[in-house]
Amino acid sequence: MLQFPRPVGIFRIRWISLLRGGTLKPLWQFTVAGSIWRIVTDGVQHLIGEERDVQHRRASFFCLECRTGKVRWSGRRFGEDWWIGIEASAGGILYLHGFATPELPGHRGITAVDVRTGEVLWADEQMVFLEASQDRLHAGRGGVTGNQISEVDPRSGKVRKTFVGDDGLLLSIRDAGSAASDHAAVPLPLPEGEAGGGWIPRRARERSDAEMIHYIDHPVTPVITSSVSRAPAVGDIPSRDRLLEVIDRGTGALLLAETLSSGAHWPGREAVFVLQNTLYYVKGHNTLSAVILGER
């Protein structure tokens, strides 16, 4: 088993054989000390993650190579201890946001980080992120997003031009950004009828206790996520386990089964996705796994 060097107290990564006993197994796993809060991709080369230490209220960030799980950088912090998070990633740049007011959801401020090096390219506390692509960034300023919009050079932070826009223009800019960054397939609601070769709805019918069933319609090995109720102790609020299954489309055989979390509704959709025939998922809040799916 090949292991990458492990900095003490930050993370560990393990390289694991793909097939063992005829079932799918993780190719590699990456574990952090805190919780993996969010993951984004930079095209098809890198995974960038947001780690949060809830006890000490500290946020840090890491970057892995998609194919190998090799760590490019980790444990990076960018000024603010807690009120900071991932906004998006595009064109080799990670965009982080701050908050207009602590403990409220409104974003304000942009910090642009080079994905390959983890170094800050520029920061502006007054800009509000709208969308980013390979060669441009659109941002509002001072909390105003619908009236004053700037096109910004993504690597320098310099404003190329500023124009006035209405809500319709703002929506079209954001939609364009979403379409441009849509590299990964995420679980979608279960379809009606016999989609997935019949095995996806059949699996759902077999699991009468499962709810919130979503799937990724991979051509060979579809991925199913679901939420299953746990029997609560007397007086406790009912809780649920989140499950992940990978099945063989042709035979219906179960190739991989994981309990992503127990007694909670987290992680959510962003913690399970497929990118270039590889399934990535977070288990136990702190371990990111990569599994190569079946090929025709």
CA triple 168-169-172, angle to 5 deg: 90
The pTM of this model reads: 0.84
Q: Is residue 5 part of a domain?
A: no
Asked whether residue 276 falls in the same domain as residue 201, the answer is yes
Asked whether residue 83 falls in the same domain as residue 157, the answer is yes
Tens-level pLDDT at each residue, the chain (296 residues):
333 333 334 445 555 444 333 489 899 999 999 999 999 998 889 999 999 999 999 999 999 999 999 999 999 999 899 999 999 999 999 999 999 887 777 888 999 999 999 999 999 999 999 989 888 899 987 554 446 889 999 999 999 998 876 555 555 555 554 544 557 899 988 766 555 456 676 776 677 777 778 889 899 999 999 888 776 655 566 678 889 999 998 888 889 999 998 876 444 445 899 999 999 999 989 999 999 998 76
Q: Is residue 75 part of a domain?
A: yes
Q: Is residue 7 part of a domain?
A: no
How far apart CA 241 and CA 265 sit, in angstroms, is 7
Asked whether residue 63 falls in the same domain as residue 161, the answer is yes
Of the residues 180, 202, 229, the one at which a domain ends? 180
CA triple 6-10-14, angle to 5 deg: 45
Residues 6+ apart with CB under 8 A from 220: 248, 249, 250, 293, 294, 295, 296
How far apart CA 119 and CA 134 sit, in angstroms, is 18
Element containing residue 41 per DSSP (H, E):
strand 35-42
Quote the pLDDT of residue 2. Answer: 30
The two counts, helices (H) then strands (E), for the chain are: 2, 24
Of the residues 132, 160, 180, the one at which a domain ends? 180
At 87 the three-state DSSP class reads strand
What are the tokens at 30?
A: 């990456």
Q: Is residue 132 part of a domain?
A: yes
Compute the Cα dihedral for 211, 271, 243, 246 and give only its sign.
Answer: positive
What are the tokens at 115?
A: 């994905």
How far apart CA 81 and CA 152 sit, in angstroms, is 26
How far apart CA 267 and CA 270 sit, in angstroms, is 8
Asked whether residue 211 falls in the same domain as residue 107, the answer is no
The count of other CB atoms within 10 Å of the CB of residue 164 is: 9
Asked whether residue 41 falls in the same domain as residue 121, the answer is yes
Provide the domain limits for residue 243.
188-292
Q: Is residue 262 part of a domain?
A: yes
Q: Is residue 152 part of a domain?
A: yes
Count of domains forming the chain: 2
Of the residues 180, 211, 232, the one at which a domain ends? 180
Quote the pLDDT of residue 238. Answer: 66
- 8 Å CB contact between 44 and 62: no
User: Cα separations (Å) of 195 from 32, 113, 218, 276?
Assistant: 37, 41, 11, 22
Quote the pLDDT of residue 19. Answer: 37
Asked whether residue 40 falls in the same domain as residue 113, the answer is yes
Q: Characterize the bridge pairing of strands 28-32 and 58-65.
A: unpaired
The count of other CB atoms within 10 Å of the CB of residue 161 is: 8
56, amino acid identity: H
Q: Is residue 17 part of a domain?
A: no
- Looking at the DSSP bridge assignments, the partners of residue 274 are 185, 279
User: Cα separations (Å) of 145 from 109, 123, 124, 244, 251?
Assistant: 12, 18, 15, 39, 51
